[in-house]
Amino acid sequence: MEFIDLKAQQQRLRARIEERICRVLDHGKYIMGPEVFELEEKLANFTGVKHAVSCSSGTDALLMALLALRVVPGDIVFVPAFTFVATAEVLPLIGATPAFVDIDPETWNLDVESLRDAISCVRDEGLGRARGVIAVDLFGLLADYESIHALAEEQGLFVIQDAAQSFGATALGQRAGSNAPIATTSFFPAKPLGCYGDAGAVFTSDDEVAETLRSLRVHGGGRDKYDNVRIGLNGRCDTFQAAVLLEKLEIFEEEIDKRQIVAARYTDSLNGARTLQKIPEGNRSVWAQYSVLSDQRTIDRERLREAGVPTAVYYPKPLHQQDAFRDVALCPVSLSCAEETSRKIFSLPMHAYLGEQDQNRIVEVLFDLSSESEKESKRAG
């Protein structure tokens, strides 16, 4: 059994992807070839924003978004403590400071009350210039943008949507990538829409920001290749990856539907037995991960492993406990929910091609576990 089955998808698309790749080999425009622009147009249409600026990764997408918003050394940006390292890492890289915020115990996304407290603390104690917040759509569930925007507006902060895990998700019909003035995503192979290498995108409906992003991704270029108007990076998405993504995008809607079915089967079977991520009404997660909280994670995972079922822990350590952030980040509030979640969480196999039989087996192993441990605790009691 695979944790994320990229082979099943490739089998389905192999001929079409090969044809696309051959076309690139024929025209030879490996950098910024026509597939890159075709992809950007299709991504913008899919998301419902005016501009999709493709780039080299989800991490560079975040970096470009921060540079476009002119985040400078000394600025403070609020980020959830429970996310992939890239969300916070890009800040110290440009001399800015991440201020960690706790997550909501039910959705595991940024807790807006914790954000409010963190902003107050930074302001009251004069810790630096609070500039913005990066909200993360954890495991494919959109953050609570209505509340986040209301607070950010009141406090004069920008909002960046880190949609690396949520591309394809919706809330009240609005697609991930359109929930903040600037949103970023990743096409890393294991993400809901993944290529065969590294790639990402930044989304915005602001013409000026889009132009800045396009300049940033090619060394801060101006009118032509040797005119440099700002400090930028080599942040382009290469033509081969765009070609792969174009074919994968064709079947993406159908895959999103399949993920709903797989997730619903897990939810039906596991509800009550393990703590699940709460999906607020009006939301459709894209289920980048199907995760559960367990009081006996080590036992759960070991039994699944013995039964040939791969699992993973996203994330075993919240970011404020990582050595890398010790001297470059702020912890203005309690991060107890992030800490507790990192102790209990693990993720089950999740992809569009996960069959009902395999899923039943996974659930059976877990249920045997609960009855075993009940027996254990009865014996011990």
136, 256, 364, 8: CA torsion to nearest 10: -110
Draw the binding track, 172-201, toward ligand PLP (x: CB under 6 A; -: no contact). Answer: --------------x-x---------x-x-
**Choices 17-25, 51-59, 99-107, 346-354; region in contact with ligand PLP by CB under 6 A:** 51-59
- Residues that contact ligand PLP, how many (by CB under 6 A): 15
Q: What is the enclosing helix (H) or strand (E) of 204? A: strand 200-204
Closest CA to 248 of 338, 311, 188, 319: 188
Is the Cβ of residue 279 or residue 369 nearer to ligand PLP in the bound state?
279
Closest CA to 364 of 314, 308, 320, 324: 308
Q: Is 33 in the site for ligand PLP (CB under 6 A)?
A: no
Cα dist. 195→49, 233, 305 in Å? 21, 21, 28
Least Cβ distance, residue 224 to ligand PLP (angstroms): 29
Least Cβ distance, residue 12 to ligand PLP (angstroms): 23
Q: Is 347 in the site for ligand PLP (CB under 6 A)?
A: no
**Choices 16-24, 46-54, 161-169, 269-277; region in contact with ligand PLP by CB under 6 A:** 161-169
Q: Is 54 in the site for ligand PLP (CB under 6 A)?
A: no
Is the Cβ of residue 58 or residue 332 nearer to ligand PLP in the bound state?
58
Burial of 127 (0-12, 13-18, 19+ CB in 10 A): middle
Q: In what order do the strands lie in the sheet with 97-101?
A: 51-55, 200-204, 182-186, 158-162, 129-136, 75-80, 97-101
Q: Give bridge partners of residue 162 from the DSSP assignment.
A: 136, 184
Q: Give bridge partners of residue 343 from the DSSP assignment.
A: none
Is the Cβ of residue 84 or residue 158 nearer to ligand PLP in the bound state?
84
User: How many residues make up the chain in this entry?
Assistant: 381
Is the Cβ of residue 33 or residue 235 nearer to ligand PLP in the bound state?
235
- For the segment 71-100, give every residue that binds ligand PLP (CB under 6 A): 83-84, 86-87
Is the Cβ of residue 17 or residue 86 nearer to ligand PLP in the bound state?
86
Least Cβ distance, residue 116 to ligand PLP (angstroms): 22
Are 134 and 163 a contacting pair, CB within 8 Å?
Answer: no
**Member of 33, 40, 58, 248 binding ligand PLP (CB under 6 A):** 58
Least Cβ distance, residue 61 to ligand PLP (angstroms): 7
CA distance 381 to 376: 8
Burial of 379 (0-12, 13-18, 19+ CB in 10 A): exposed
- For the segment 241-270, give every residue that binds ligand PLP (CB under 6 A): none
**Would you state the structure tokens that stand for residue 110, as one six-digit string?**
């940024």
**Choices 9-17, 54-62, 318-326, 367-375; region in contact with ligand PLP by CB under 6 A:** 54-62
Burial 154-179 (b: 16+ CB within 10 A, else e): ebebbbbbbbbbbbbbbbeeebbbbb
**Would you state the structure tokens that stand for residue 277, as one six-digit string?**
């991520």
Q: For residue 149, what are the contacts with CB-CB under 8 A and spacing of at least 6?
A: 159, 180
Q: Is 202 in the site for ligand PLP (CB under 6 A)?
A: no
Least Cβ distance, residue 198 to ligand PLP (angstroms): 6
**Member of 17, 39, 54, 59 binding ligand PLP (CB under 6 A):** 59
Least Cβ distance, residue 13 to ligand PLP (angstroms): 20
Task: Dump the DSSP string for 117-177.
Answer: HHHHHHHHTT-SEEEEEEEE-GGGPPP-HHHHHHHHHHHT-EEEEE-TTTTT-EETTEETT
DSSP-based three-state secondary structure for 53 = strand
Least Cβ distance, residue 299 to ligand PLP (angstroms): 27
**Member of 75, 102, 111, 162 binding ligand PLP (CB under 6 A):** 162
Draw the binding track, 112-151, toward ligand PLP (x: CB under 6 A; -: no contact). Answer: ------------------------x---------------
Enumerate binding residues for ligand PLP (CB under 6 A). 57-59, 83-84, 86-87, 136, 162, 164-165, 186, 188, 198, 200
